[in-house]
Amino acid sequence: MKNIAFYIASRYLLSKKGSTAVTFITWLAAVAMSVAVAAMFVIISVFSGLEDFNKSLISNLHADLTIKSTSGKTLKNLDKINSVLKKNTEISSFSRVIEEKTYINYNGKGDVAYLRGVDSAYTKVNPVDKTIFYGSYPSFEYSNEVIMERSLQNRLGIPVDDSNADFSTLFMPKPGTGIINKEEDIYNKKEIVVCGVFPGNEQLNNYIIAPIELAEELLNLPKNSAYQIVIKLKNQDNINSVQQDLLKTLGKDIEIKTKEEENAAFWKMINTEKLFIYLIFALVIFITTFNLAGAIIILQLDKKEQAKSLISLGFPLAHLRMTYFYTGILIVVLGVISGLVLGTALCYFQLYTELFKAVEDLPFPVKIVGKNYLIVATIASVFGIAISWFFSKISKDYITKT
């Protein structure tokens, strides 16, 4: 009997004969479901692309693991830390970093910036040297050679790699108390040469990357100091185990954070946006499924006489209900499959043509992943099945009464 119910449902959907209005409404419900599914798939694929794009933007800001002190800015027992890191076979490279706010001045123009002092091994952890689009990375032969974020360099009009240009000056406030008698009591200053420019983003705006010796000099720190140590792992899948091993070995006064933990606020924002995207498009699909409810109701009205005949021949009411339920399910399946095919085609179209732009020189990124197929199909199927089940509950009195 269940096979008969499914057969009748498939005939209702695929038969070319019958009411034009029923056929139109049935296929309209399938098309509406298809469009809603395609729209959701495209949007979350774009969101997946944007998520990867954001990851790539901050990849040069945070390393796989970052070691910091919990008792002050400067790391203590640096020799012990270096020894432990060198012995760990899971670690590919590590580098000392000092980061502090500074003030930069060039020909009367000034701005607040972030000075990141790094040692020569830094590019093995964060390959920021590969992002330089004008000039070159510091040679570390001179401590005053720096690279600068593009928007900061543009605002101040600082020449790049120009030996005849005036120097820029960095100012770093001095800590302490007492009476100020002269300018040198307020801050340390150092003239710098900008040898390269790298692109910025929300995470790297106003950054200056320089040899760590420059930061040590401006902050009056002893040689071989560090505010943090950044680590590159051979295999990022082992990040949690390496983190726990280092915490046990290095003991107290040390905290070790992963890239995600360093950017906790950023990822919380991304995940919140993702949740709202899912909720909004789930609501769109839910509203769309009411076209499905309309199709089932119209089908019941149009096939009322046939239903009476089936009941008279002994066809169980439960199986008649299953017929309408299967009709709804077939519409849902058709809509979901065609919607995913259409959404995939649109995503590949964007990938190959880059027609739609987020900004003038940046196309909307798209990433097609299996998880998105599962999410969209599940949401559409749950709503479709629920609506089909609810509106297939036709009563016997409705069938038998004239």
Statement: residue 308 has pLDDT above 80: no
Instruction: Give the tens place of pLDDT for each residue, 191-235.
Output: 999 999 988 766 667 899 999 999 999 999 999 999 999 999 999
Statement: residue 18 has pLDDT above 60: no
pLDDT at 179: 63
Average pLDDT over every residue of 141-152? 90
Determine the Cα–Cα distance for residues 311 and 271; give it in Å rounded to an integer.
53
Statement: residue 254 has pLDDT above 60: yes
Statement: residue 289 has pLDDT above 70: yes
> Which of 303 and 246 is assigned the larger pLDDT?
246
Statement: residue 107 has pLDDT above 70: yes
> Which of 155 and 164 is assigned the larger pLDDT?
155
Instruction: Give the tens place of pLDDT for each residue, 335-355.
Output: 999 999 999 999 999 999 988
Alpha helices in 137-263 (DSSP H): 150-156, 212-218, 239-250, 259-262
pLDDT at 250: 87
Average pLDDT over every residue of 321-341? 91
> Which of 59 and 232 is assigned the larger pLDDT?
232
Average pLDDT over every residue of 106-134? 91
Determine the Cα–Cα distance for residues 127 and 115; give it in Å rounded to an integer.
17
pLDDT at 299: 82
3-state DSSP call for residue 242? helix
* Window from 185-199, 315-329, 377-391 with minimum mean pLDDT: 315-329
Contact 340, 44 (CB under 8 A): no
Q: Which of 127, 97, 102, 123 is nearest to 112 (CA)?
A: 102
pLDDT at 241: 93
Statement: residue 9 has pLDDT above 80: no
Sign (positive/negative) of CA torsion 385, 390, 395, 399?
Answer: negative
Instruction: Extract the tokens encoding 74.
Output: 């400067």
Average pLDDT over every residue of 311-337? 85
Count Cα neighbours of 380 within 13 Å in the Cβ-side half-sphere: 33
Instruction: Give the tens place of pLDDT for each residue, 125-136.
Output: 988 888 888 899
pLDDT at 1: 45
Residue type, 339: G
pLDDT at 229: 95
Sign (positive/negative) of CA torsion 320, 321, 326, 327?
Answer: positive
pLDDT at 28: 87
357-393 b/e (C-beta count within 10 Å ≥ 16 → b):
eeeeeeebbbbeeeebbebbbebbbebbeebbeebbe
Phi, psi of 341 (to 5 degrees): -65, -45
* Window from 142-146, 264-268, 273-277 with minimum mean pLDDT: 264-268
> Which of 394 and 65 is assigned the larger pLDDT?
65
pLDDT at 401: 60
> Which of 269 and 149 is assigned the larger pLDDT?
149
What angle do helix axes 317-353 and 304-312 make, rounded to 10 degrees? Answer: 140
Statement: residue 23 has pLDDT above 90: no
What angle do helix axes 264-302 and 317-353 make, rounded to 10 degrees? Answer: 140
- How far is Cα of residue 141 from the mean position of the Cα atoms in its chain? 38
**Angle, CA 201 vertex, CA 139 and CA 212 arms, to 5°:** 30
* The dihedral formed by the CA atoms of 216, 112, 55 and 48, expressed in degrees to the nearest 10: 170
Statement: residue 402 has pLDDT above 60: no
DSSP per residue over 274-318, as a string?
A: HHHHHHHHHHHHHHHHHHHHHHHHHHHHHTHHHHHHHHHTT--HH
Instruction: Give the tens place of pLDDT for each residue, 80-102.
Output: 999 999 999 999 999 999 999 99
**Angle, CA 101 vertex, CA 100 and CA 106 arms, to 5°:** 125
Contact 381, 334 (CB under 8 A): no
Q: For a pLDDT cut of 70, what percent of the chain falls above it? A: 90
Instruction: Extract the tokens encoding 339.
Output: 């919607």
* The dihedral formed by the CA atoms of 13, 16, 21 and 22, expressed in degrees to the nearest 10: -20
Average predicted confidence (pLDDT) for the chain: 86
**Angle, CA 235 vertex, CA 229 and CA 237 arms, to 5°:** 100
Query: Among all chains, which residue has been given the structure tokens 């974020």?
Result: 149
3-state DSSP call for residue 340? helix
Determine the Cα–Cα distance for residues 28 and 291; give it in Å rounded to an integer.
8
Confidence of residue 60 (pLDDT cuts 50, 70, 90): low
pLDDT at 55: 72
Measured CA distances, 189 to 105, 167, 211, 370 (Å): 10, 12, 15, 54
* Whether the predicted model's global pTM rises above the 0.95 cut: no
